[in-house]
Structure formats: C-alpha cells, structure tokens
Amino acid sequence: MSRRHKNNGPKRDTVTFTTKDFLPTTRAEMDERGWDYCDVILVSGDAYIDSPFIGVSMVGRMLERMGYKVGMIGQPDIDKPDDIMRLGEPRLYWGVSGGSVDSMVSNYTATKKFRNSDDYTPGGKNDKRPDRAVLVYTNLIRRYFKNTVPIVLGGIEASLRRVTHYDYWQNKLKKPILFDSKADVMIYGMGEIALEQLTRAIEEKRDYTDIRGICYISKEPVYEYIQLPSHQECLDDKEKYIDLFDDFYDNNDPISAKGLCQPVDSRYLIQNPPCDYLNEDEMDANSNLPFTRELHPYYAKDGKVKCLETIKFSIMTHHGCWGECNFCAIGVHQGRTIRTRSEDNIVNEAKEFNKYKDYKGVISDVGGPTANMYGYECDKKLKKGTCDHMKCVDADRLCKAMHVNHDRNIKLLRRVREVEGVRHAFVASGIRYDLINADKAHGYSYLKEMVKHHISGQMKVAPEHTQQHILQLMGKPGKEELVKFKHLYDRMNKEEGKNQFLTYYLIAAHPGCKESDMKELKRFTSEELKMNPEQAQVFIPTPGTYSAVMYYTEMDPKTRQKIFVEKDTKRKEKQKQIVVKKDCFKSGFAS
C-alpha cells in the first residue's frame, strides 16, 4: 500500500489500498501472489467488504493469520458457473455464509413484500442475494464441483437454523439446515475457536466430531447428550417443539451447556457444546487484523455499499448481550456473556482512523449489541455459566447478581474523545435505559457523558411497547422504567442547554398484541411521551427466537397457555398504522 501526506487539515499519513491488501477474489489476484490454489474459499451473500463488522471477512483474516491461503467469492451468480469456479477448488474446504443479514430478512419485509434495496450489495439494488442463500450456494458448489472437499456452514443464517425451526416465509417447521443444505459440518455462533480447531483437523485429516462449537449429521445418536424431540415429534405436537426450543436456548453457554442430539428421519443432528469465548487478549488480537475497511475493487466498480457509511469508522467494543429480548437472536448467536476489548485496543483503533483520507474525525459508533453493557458482567455467570430458565433482566426485574456499572464505559468514552483527530465519537448502538436507571453510582454520570458528547441530535431507545402483558412476552422492561428515564433525560438536556430528542423503536403485531393494545400504545406515546412515533415495525418471526416460537405455536412458552397471534397481513399493517398515524398535539420538550 502506498502512503502520502494530505495537505489540508492536520498533517497525517493516509493509505491507498490495492487489491493486494485484500484477500483475493479473482484468479488474477491469486496469480499476483503466486498461488496455484486456495486452501479455503469463502462464499458469502454479501459483496466482499473487508471490515471487522463483516463476519465472513473476520473468518478470512483469522485463517490468513493462521497461514492459510484464503479466497473470497461474494454474491456469486447462481445461474452460471463463472463466479463459483473462478478461484478453482480449495485444498481444504469451502466456507459458506448467507451474509451479515439472514437472506430472507434481507429480501422480504414483515409483510413478505420484496425489498428493493440491499445495503451489502454494490449500487444498493437488491438483485444479487438469493433467497435461502446458504442452501443455494451449497447446491451451486456441488453442481459444479463433484465429490468436492467438505462444505462448512457458518454465519447467522445457518446458526439460527441448526435444529428444527419455524420458517415464517413457508409457514412451517423445517429440518435442521444441515439436512436441507447437504453441507458436511456447521460452525455455529461466533465460533472463533471452533474455526481454528476445525481447520487444523481437516488439514491433518483427523476426526473432527469432538470439536466444540460445531454441528454435524450422524447415523448414530450421542447418548450422553440431551435427547431433543425428533423433527417428526415437533411436527406432530407444538408443545414438543417448545420443549426442543427450551433445551436449544438453555444450552448455548460454553461453561454450562451440554451437547444436543435430535433425531431427523433415520439420522441425527448432533450439536456439540459451544466452543469457549475469546478472552480480552484474543478479542484485541482479532481487532488488530489488517482490515482495509473498504469494498474490494472487484465489487466497487458496480457502485458503493451503503453499509460502509455506518460501519467504516465505527468501533465494536464487545460481543454478547444478556438483554434477552424474546424477538432477538443475538443471545443465541453471539451469546449471553459480555466479552470486551481492552480500552487501549479500542483507543488505538480510533487513532488508526486518521490514516484514511476520507476520515473526517467522526466515529459513527462506539458500541456493541447493547452499548452500555461494556465493561461489566455477573461474577456468578463468569464462573458457572448462564442460569437455566432464568434471565439476567426481564420485564419486571434485574437479577440482583448483576451489578450494573457504567464506570469503565465512561472512562473509555472519555479516552476515545481525547484521541487526536476525533471531533465526534457517537454512540449509535442500542442503549438499555433500564440499566442506566439501575446504576445508582454511575448511571447519571454515564447519561451526562452521552448527552454532552455522544448523541447526534437524538438518542434512540427501544421500549417496543407499553402494555405490560406484551412487554412480558417480549422480555422488555415495564413502561415505568421508560417514563423514569425520559424525565431524567429531559432534565439533563435542560441542564446542559441542549435540545436533543428521544426516538422510540416500537413493534406492532408481536404475539399477544391486538389492535386495542396498539391504540393504548398510541395514547401513551401521545399523552405521556408527547410524541408521534415514526419508528414502528411489524414483527418478523425469525428463527432462533422465543417470539417466533410464540408465533408458530400460539402459546406462551413459559405457561403453555394460548395467546392471541395476529397472522393476517393486512391487520398486521393496520396495527402499525394505528401507532404511526400523525396526531395533532402540542409537542413537549425532547419529543
């Protein structure tokens, strides 16, 4: 890469990237390196964006660090062989991912209308990502490479479908994705350690079926694992499906989880216990990998990718979330234990931004799945793993063992602000306002830091609803926490002489929600929050979530009691319109 000085503004070295700074995606780039083959070829539903926020790029850079020759094929044409064959056949295995977003969520709205835009496709037009991308790409490989090396699945689309799961788009239960995809093995969750161990095992031609963090198909059961209801039992009995999901959900922690074994026809889906989480040094090491933070030139000729507007100069501070909203799959995929990067490592990343000629001193986000979970965890969970059938935070309480402490987060944000070249460091990730309320020692100080320095005109919060019985089904805090926080936020804005707003994310047609509930939500937002909601979305039942289980079974998984579930598309949209319809009222401060 070449370096030059920029004359306007502060003097600094800037970087210009060539194809050699990326992992190769064409045969010509392999030739530049003198490669006759790739050890591993990664296939993704995204264009090749070389960023730490893109899972398949992280995998590629990790394998590169291990000494392997890695090729990348993003969004291959599925109607002809040119793309999938352009790098040849890998020596060890194919890695297949649907991309950063589940392909069905990426392609369809909650009311099953096709989405015209795609933030991970050059030019933004949604014409490159196939439905059920994992299945399509695996079949594409097998079509043109007979008797090929193993195909390894990874990424969120595969991870959330690793056991029998409800498919909203076909409105039925589907088999574990390994059975439909004809792939050989899956790395589930974040799977960083499993990736290294599986790759070494394949290279050394060793049996890999004992590696933690993988799923595979077996002709024989593993009797020492938890025996899940069979796929057929789930089809026959909705309560059996709830039983399956309970065991699936409760066995995602590396410390406390057991393996799972599910009969599917005449064979068995085997899920080994999860691999260990990365420690802080390992998190730092992955963040130091040589990402360009750019779209590969091969794809850039077709236009820009919108996602780079937000992720290019953003910083991921941690993995995991213990918020456990029932409609969210982060807890199942990333885990319910927070793994943090060190403050020094995060600060160094902020310094590195100065090398980019298009960096204007604005960091788009300093956060994670939930920004204010950085820097603290439950001591009991760190020693014994997550608790069975108990959540750290629920609709009506925060576990007493979870000592919320924003002190380390405050210190981190102050250090990032002090980095030379930083004009603004925003926190755009989700914030749990109930955690700010719960932190009697540092919550006020944290919010003050946010209001003074880290909000770009508005702060986004996600109450999702205000009716208690729906919040209970969602796993969200009660509306009292929201009102309490709003009063504090408004008061702090006045103290600081600022006029920054709160914006609220809301969900319509979640299981349990009727039109009357949306009318009450509208009344509450108008009369008590003094605002007209604009950020409302219709609920999507995505695999790997309790809310999807509710949608399919029409039962509360805890009580097994029947609940109302709106399944008519027009009435779902009507629920949304009830709350976003403009009302005329006198707006209050910080509306």
Query: From the annotation, which residues make up the binding site for [4Fe-4S] cluster?
Result: 321, 325, 328
Binding-site positions: 321, 325, 328
Nearest to 478 by CA among 392, 370, 396: 396
Nearest to 255 by CA among 392, 389, 386, 401: 386
- Asked whether 450 and 410 are in contact (CB, 8 A), the reply is no
Q: What is the DSSP letter of 213?
A: T
For residue 405, CA distances in Å to 438, 475, 553 come to: 9, 22, 38
Cα–Cα distance between 479 and 466 in angstroms, integer?
5
Q: What angle do CA 278, 283, 285 make, to 5 degrees?
A: 120
Cα–Cα distance between 109 and 124 in angstroms, integer?
16
The one-letter amino acid code at 32 reads E
Beta bridge partners of 393: 398
Q: Coil, strand or helix: which one is 250? A: helix
Tokens of 243: 């039983």
H or E stretch including 50?
A: strand 49-50
- Asked whether 328 and 94 are in contact (CB, 8 A), the reply is no
SS3 labels along 93-152:
EEEEECCCCCHHHHHECCCCCECCECCCCCCCECCCCCCCHHHHHHHHHHHHCCCCCCEE
Tokens of 60: 């590629």
For 478-509, give the DSSP string.
-HHHHHHHHHHHHHHHHHHT--PEEEEEEEES
Q: Coil, strand or helix: which one is 68? A: coil
